Chain A
Amino acid sequence: MFKWLIVGIAALIGAAIVFAAAPAPDDTGVLTITARYVKTPPAGIDDPAWQRVAPVQVPVAGRLEMADVKGTVSTKALFTDDELYFLLSWEDPTCSTVKESWQFDGTQWVHLKGDEDRIALLFEIARINQFSSKSCSVVCHSPADLPRSQWHLATKSPVEKGDLWHWKAARSAPYRHADDGWLTVAGNPTGSYRETGRRADAGDGGDIKNETPDGSRPLYMQDPARRPSVPGFLLLEEAVPITDYSIFRAGDVIPYRLPVKPSASRFDVKAESRHADGRWTVMLHRKFNTGQEDDVAFDVRRRFSFAMAAFDDSGADHSKATRSLVLDFKR
């Protein structure tokens, strides 16, 4: 009798600890993406480790020109002892990497219609007020007199800081990374948000516009002495100034935006990407702690609120996650 009583009491105490250990998921708009531990880093998009993780479908909805766009981004996350991996996959029938490339029509150079596909993640480096409950809408500001199309991304105060991972099909994918930037208060001293609060991390990267000072034609072409390391793209390090425009024939295309070789903190977020079967699949990964002030430092004991936006052949127009997202780590 006493033996069973002791067993019962021990079970009750054990149950109390278990209940206390399991944080109750609250009824809220927050969607949790749980990163699972793997000992060996996934080698790429097709690594079997990804098959063992259930995807979370992050709902996204468009704004402005993309107001009727609705979809989901299948999101998976893994982590090793020192690195975080995301696998993002979303439907996009067209692979857009044109980004207003130049085309010679036989008499003059014109910009092709078309932008690029992108996906962006935003984390908190330092607490952004209401970010965890209202997501990126709290950093999308504008003075009342500006139309929504001119809204910019910025935090409300200098103490709030975001970490922006921006994968761009035409401008960062060739170097297999996501442009690593950070978000702060708008640059305008009046604080009117007429300027963006986006800043690039330390180091080289990004892209330059390939155009002559008068903007009438491209300035650079592929170095004929070098084989393009990424076919279809013109990297700045492989470009040479055009000295003779007569070599071009009607229909020739030269990229308008030339990726600059990334380095230092701007090159922290590595990426693998593929467009196949009407879908983009992008793997992003970064060290937990880069030691840089312009990067969020991940800690597997904590939750990290984040936001997501997908861009379909567009510049500013995008579909953003309709729910606040949180990243959780589970061993």
Chain B
Amino acid sequence: MTEVETSTTEERSTVAASRASIAQLLQVEVPADAICWHRFFGALQLALIGLLFLSGALMALAYTPVPGMAYDSVDYFQFSLPLGNVVRGVHHYAWNLLLVVMGLHLLRALILGAYKAPRQIVWISGVAFFLLMPLFIITGDLLPWDQKGYWSTQVRFSIIASIPLAGDFLVQLFRGGPLTGIVALTRLYVLHILVLPCALVLLIGLHLYFLGTRGLSEPLTAGAAPRPKVPFLPTIVNRWLAVFIVSAVGLGLVAWQWPAALGDPADPTDSAFIPRPEWWVLFLNQLVAIFKGPFMVIGSAIIPGGLVFLLGALPYLDRSPERHPSKRMGVMVATAVVLAALTALSVIGYVEHFVRPEH
């Protein structure tokens, strides 16, 4: 066989494999109840993550991860480049929305008992997303090198440092030295745009794989009759694309009308600056405020970590096959109590920081 013949044969086999994959994908069917309003959050999450990746990649084209230039590069991107304002705004709003949608997605699965056998691993891979989210926050907030991001990062580093044994090591790992400077910015930048997105993609892949192998949870009202099916391609894929386009246009319009704020440039000597927490960390801030000094670790690590652990372990704590919420009152009450506590802490935090700040 000549080289040309070998090459042609390889090309043919590749094309054949691709065709086979597409044919296989065309044969994939999912239950028709996948298209219902309360299963909408997963598709929306994928769309938002896609928008975050896309807008983040565009911003990275203009970003300079150097303390003296980072702020100006963000400022330049947002105000001097065409649609920079919209792209940064989409990144900002997609992130805020993602946190809400992730919460709702988890809550739906919890209320409907979707974590029960045989889908325990689907649930656990979903809960694992909540371990990545704080890392995205820690690494992303510093990047604009504005006052809020810089001083919020300082506060977070001090909270992380309170974790026994590992705290100082973790801070050193993030910061790379005694001060938050160019090494910290470079490390957090690489984590934010490379390491964490890769981890997120991997996690999404695992979550979808487990979902594919373990199946979608049945509707609570499902009878013994087999569930009607719809093809994955094009029905589900088209739905995702539609959600993506609607989200992109919607968030783009919001960003156009209400641009994402860019504060003043960071001044590491201005220790009088007190950043106010974002809405999504208000409860955590209050927890840290309740447990002061040597007990800070209770609020900063033990309680939040314990909650995530309990959440992950839920399929093994609630083993009964019963899925209807009214027949799982223990789980429902515990969920309500935790939600009420988080809401109360957030409201108290909001009042303390925004309505009548003491400082």
Point out residues on A near B: beta carbons under 8 Å.
Answer: 2, 6, 9, 12-13, 16-17, 19-21, 23-30, 127, 129-130, 132-134, 299, 301-303, 305, 326
Option from B96, B99, B273, B274 in Cβ contact (under 8 Å) with A133: B273
Which residues of the partner chain A approach B104 to less than 8 Å between Cβ atoms? 9, 12
Q: How does the 8 Å CB contact mask read for B92-129 relative to A, with 1 for contact and 0 for none?
A: 11001101110010000000000000000000000000
Which residues of the partner chain A approach B97 to less than 8 Å between Cβ atoms? 13, 16-17, 20
Question: Which residues of B147-185 are within 8 A (CB) of A?
Answer: 147-148
* B264 pairs with A30, CB closer than 8 A: yes
Question: Which residues of B263-280 are within 8 A (CB) of A?
Answer: 263-265, 267, 269-270, 272-276, 278-279
Question: In angstroms, how far is the closest chain B Cβ from the Cβ of A124?
Answer: 10
Which residues of the partner chain A approach B78 to less than 8 Å between Cβ atoms? 301
Question: In angstroms, how far is the closest chain B Cβ from the Cβ of A28?
Answer: 5
Which residues of the partner chain B approach A6 to less than 8 Å between Cβ atoms? 37
Question: B196 in the interface, Cβ–Cβ < 8 Å?
Answer: no
* B274 pairs with A301, CB closer than 8 A: no
Option from A16, A23, A29 in Cβ contact (under 8 Å) with B261: A23
Which residues of the partner chain A approach B353 to less than 8 Å between Cβ atoms? 24
Question: In angstroms, how far is the closest chain A Cβ from the Cβ of B220?
Answer: 13
Residue of B nearest to A29 (CB): B272
Total count of chain B residues near the partner, CB < 8 A: 41
In this complex, the member of B104, B260, B264, B272 whose beta carbon has the largest number of chain A beta carbons within 10 angstroms is B264
* B99 pairs with A16, CB closer than 8 A: yes
Which residues of the partner chain A approach B258 to less than 8 Å between Cβ atoms? 21
Which residues of the partner chain B approach A21 to less than 8 Å between Cβ atoms? 93, 254, 258
Option from A9, A12, A27 in Cβ contact (under 8 Å) with B274: A27
* B264 pairs with A134, CB closer than 8 A: no
Can you list the 9 inter-chain pairs with the closest CB atoms, starting with the nearest?
A23-B261, A132-B264, A20-B96, A27-B274, A133-B267, A21-B258, A133-B270, A24-B276, A16-B100
Which residues of the partner chain A approach B68 to less than 8 Å between Cβ atoms? 129
A130 to B147, CA, bound (A): 11
* B263 pairs with A23, CB closer than 8 A: yes
* B100 pairs with A301, CB closer than 8 A: no
A6 to B262, CA, bound (A): 33
Question: In angstroms, how far is the closest chain A Cβ from the Cβ of B112?
Answer: 12
Question: Which residues of B66-110 are within 8 A (CB) of A?
Answer: 68, 71-72, 75, 78-79, 85, 92-93, 96-97, 99-101, 104
* A24 pairs with B274, CB closer than 8 A: no
Which residues of the partner chain B approach A134 to less than 8 Å between Cβ atoms? 267, 270
Which residues of the partner chain A approach B327 to less than 8 Å between Cβ atoms? none
* A17 pairs with B96, CB closer than 8 A: yes
Question: In angstroms, how far is the closest chain B Cβ from the Cβ of A223?
Answer: 50
Q: List 9 A-B contacts (CB under 8 A).
A: A12-B100, A26-B275, A27-B274, A27-B276, A127-B72, A132-B264, A132-B265, A133-B147, A134-B267
A25 to B78, CA, bound (A): 20
A301 to B259, CA, bound (A): 7
* A17 pairs with B274, CB closer than 8 A: no
Question: B356 in the interface, Cβ–Cβ < 8 Å?
Answer: no
A2 to B108, CA, bound (A): 13
* B264 pairs with A326, CB closer than 8 A: yes
A6 to B37, CA, bound (A): 9
Option from B72, B79, B148, B276 in Cβ contact (under 8 Å) with A299: B79
Option from A2, A13, A30 in Cβ contact (under 8 Å) with B101: A13
* A130 pairs with B267, CB closer than 8 A: yes
Question: B354 in the interface, Cβ–Cβ < 8 Å?
Answer: yes
Question: In angstroms, how far is the closest chain A Cβ from the Cβ of B41?
Answer: 9
A302 to B101, CA, bound (A): 30
* B279 pairs with A17, CB closer than 8 A: no
* B269 pairs with A130, CB closer than 8 A: yes
A6 to B41, CA, bound (A): 12
A263 to B275, CA, bound (A): 45
Question: B319 in the interface, Cβ–Cβ < 8 Å?
Answer: no
Residue of B nearest to A19 (CB): B279
Question: In angstroms, how far is the closest chain B Cβ from the Cβ of A323?
Answer: 11
Which residues of the partner chain B approach A24 to less than 8 Å between Cβ atoms? 148, 276, 278, 353-354
* B148 pairs with A26, CB closer than 8 A: yes
* A26 pairs with B147, CB closer than 8 A: yes
Question: B357 in the interface, Cβ–Cβ < 8 Å?
Answer: yes
Given contact pairs A17-B254, A21-B258, A134-B267, A28 touches B96 in the complex (Cβ within 8 A): no
A127 to B74, CA, bound (A): 13
* B79 pairs with A301, CB closer than 8 A: yes
Residue of A nearest to B98 (CB): A16
* A26 pairs with B273, CB closer than 8 A: yes
In this complex, the member of A17, A24, A28 whose beta carbon has the largest number of chain B beta carbons within 10 angstroms is A28
* B274 pairs with A26, CB closer than 8 A: yes
Residue of A nearest to B104 (CB): A9
A292 to B86, CA, bound (A): 27
* B273 pairs with A28, CB closer than 8 A: yes
* A132 pairs with B267, CB closer than 8 A: yes
Question: In angstroms, how far is the closest chain A Cβ from the Cβ of B52?
Answer: 13
A26 to B267, CA, bound (A): 14
Which residues of the partner chain B approach A326 to less than 8 Å between Cβ atoms? 264
In addition to A30-B264, A301-B78, 11 A-B residue pairs with Cβ atoms within 8 Å of each other are A13-B101, A20-B92, A20-B97, A26-B273, A132-B265, A133-B267, A133-B270, A134-B267, A301-B259, A302-B262, A303-B263
Question: In angstroms, how far is the closest chain B Cβ from the Cβ of A23?
Answer: 3
Which residues of the partner chain B approach A299 to less than 8 Å between Cβ atoms? 79
Residue of A nearest to B69 (CB): A127
* B259 pairs with A305, CB closer than 8 A: no
A303 to B79, CA, bound (A): 11
A162 to B272, CA, bound (A): 25
In this complex, the member of B72, B148, B267, B272 whose beta carbon has the largest number of chain A beta carbons within 10 angstroms is B267
Q: How does the 8 Å CB contact mask read for B29-51 relative to A, with 1 for contact and 0 for none?
A: 00000000100000000000000
A48 to B147, CA, bound (A): 37
* A27 pairs with B357, CB closer than 8 A: yes
A92 to B101, CA, bound (A): 58
Which residues of the partner chain A approach B272 to less than 8 Å between Cβ atoms? 28-29
Q: How does the 8 Å CB contact mask read for B219-230 relative to A, with 1 for contact and 0 for none?
A: 000000000000
